[in-house]
Structure 1
Amino acid sequence: MTRAPLLALTAILLLPGCETTNGPRPVSSAPTSGRHSALAVLTPADAHERELLAPGGNADALAKWAVELGKRADRSDLPDEAKALRLRARRFALAAQERGSRNLMIDVILSSIADDGSPVAVTYSNQTEANQLVSDGEKKFARGDLDGALACYQRALAVDPHCHRAALFAGDVFFSRGENTAAVQWFDRAIAIDPDVETAHRYRGDALLRLGQYTAARDSYIAALVAAPYSKITRAMLLHWAAAAASRVQFPDVSFPRGSLAIADGKMGVNCDPRDGALSLAYVIARAAYVTESKIPLASYRHSLAEEADGLRKFVLIADELKEKNPRDPNILAHSAVIEFLAQMDRDGLLEAHILLDRADAGIAADYADYRAQHRDQLSRYVRTVWLGAK
């Protein structure tokens, strides 16, 4: 956009008719609880469970018990017993979640066990023999037969050299034995097969942390986050690394500029709160202009990475123009840190990474995989330099 239209845009910033909006829903939103209390439907089976379920009981203790029940289900050879244990594991995981536990295994349990206690089917390989070998290995691993499990995983990889889970689980065997260097080597094999699965990167970080290789562990946790940026697990493990390395993670404040587009019945308007000031209105009007100029069909509209990046770049340009006209403009003074941060991200080639990792809603997140395929280095650099303050 040229300088004249920018100045023209600033002249209409205070038009009436803007409506307050809550803004887009974040991608990594907290899970919502069900209509019925998980605690209310659980009946304790013994004194231990009675203590866990007592009012004021520890949420993380409930989560740990859910994990233990899941392990018992894996070790059971009786289908009905295993199903009952899985169902109980799921219910305790829901109860732990209801009480506020942030144990990362809760999501694993809830995603791997159906509502009726049946295991959620997992396909390890498209080749039947390799798939069965990995499944057999998992059963042996759950029973503590690490040698037997490793043999199954290695045979599966021989049958299907592209079986990511076989290499990953083989590494987990070595990690469980405390053989961390060998574990890293196997996790590297899994990453070479599929670098876009976060688990091998995260497990590799765990092994490197045990070896005291903090910088290498950091890079693995960053790679895990780049693989799964909207996962609570990958963000939590980055915080775990920071605590272990006596470092810290600092997320930038992205609450400004605010505003959204209102699209209904083939028409587009802008939603904003007049109290947010001229700059927020400039940003959302710029987004509307992008949609119009790009001839995006309103019937299939979604908030995109390109639209957001264009809106933020114009926001910075308009802020610069306002500052030229009046260096003491209260809008500029109030938001100078945000303006400078966004300008710096653009100069550093990190504006899109910032949007995807710190401003994404569901629409923007849909562009993540395509961006990562071409710009993995920018995403990693953003986490390393902006979140962690490293070179």
Structure 2
Amino acid sequence: MSAAAGIVVVGMSAAGTAAAEGLRRGGYDGPLTLISEETRLPYERPPLSKAVLAGDGPPDSEAGGDPGHLEQRLSLDVRLGVRATALDVPARRLTLGTGEELDCTAVVVATGVRPRRLPGTEGVAGVHVLRTLDDALALRKDLVAGGPVAVVGGGVLGTEVAAAARGLGLDVTLITVDDQPMAPVLGGSLGLLIAHEHRRHGVRVRTGRTVTGLLTAGGRVAGVHLDGQELVPADVVVLAVGSVPATDWLAGSGLDLTDGVGCDAFCAAAPGVFAAGDVARWWHPRYGRTMRVEHRMNASEQGTVVARNVLASLGVIDAPPTAYAPVPYFWSDQYGWRMQAYGVTAGADRVEVLRADPGTPDRPPKMLALYGDRDLARGAVSIGLRPAGTRALRAVAAGPTDWGRALDAARTASNGNW
């Protein structure tokens, strides 16, 4: 027997919570259910690789209090520690790990991503991934115990973890298969600047290297084997080698699950089924391509737009659906400086570096670059630029903007704003 559940949001991090908030603010007063595999209330994920590892404490809950407080504030049914296992799309019937079936007016998929692991690393003590608060607290405990740390993966997460571990005074090695840390996002020249910053702070950086296995002793990691027969001693290993969309429970649903849940420009995957956050791959009308963005700002913004489009589809509001066309944005905090990136930078055919000054003991680095193709700038990245300058960069990335005009705008933005 299935139960009528109204609108159901599967996943209760930033995207799912924003969707639930948006549904209530938009005037939906029917049954609303939030389902989460985690047993914790919603919390901010960006601090996990920064403040939590540094020992500043767990991130504040977005809801505050306990599940009852969240239920009362939004008048909804909160299901913590419950996994969705299947979705009958035509019937909009959701099956839970408890065996319960829910008949849904609409479904919002906001299940996020799962960290990738390397073969042979499951169950080895001292080997960590970082996605949840529990992951961060377990890693923090091992870091406090001391000993050398190896971080595998040179993307945003890997470099942030390496910086946090080094801030604790630990011996840290950062290992990446790329030519430089963050090179797929920033390009080689600015990746070299990031590598310089880590080395300047005492991190050993191994670029262009592949992990071939682990050295273990008594069931605990003792080192990382690299190609070329190099052994990196490590009592703690952090795997930051990417993630996969959490769509396994949707297998057989008929939805497009190629790199996330495939959606149209309105974030609809099928009639009555929407997706938001890290798991959603949607048609971006501004850039004329499909995109899937794994960043905090996108999750909350997309969840809010999805809520509005659910309400429009149900006739709760008398308005057409809204195409989701944000300017992608992410930031990264390392060693006291903040990187900010707008638009599309990964895979750019053209990168023009306007400034790339390495840091010194007295000041952080300064960086400014444009990204795009031969004719159009589609993204921009900066370190050390003041807010007035970064706002101008956002406008450049929002265009996309003619390359010459983008260069002029970036130069103007940087004048007096460092």
TM bucket (normalised to shorter chain) is under 0.3
TM score, norm. by length of structure 2 = 0.25
Radius of gyration: which is bigger? Answer: 1
Answer 1 or 2: which has greater helix percent.
1
Answer 1 or 2: which has greater strand percent.
2
TM score, norm. by length of structure 1 = 0.27
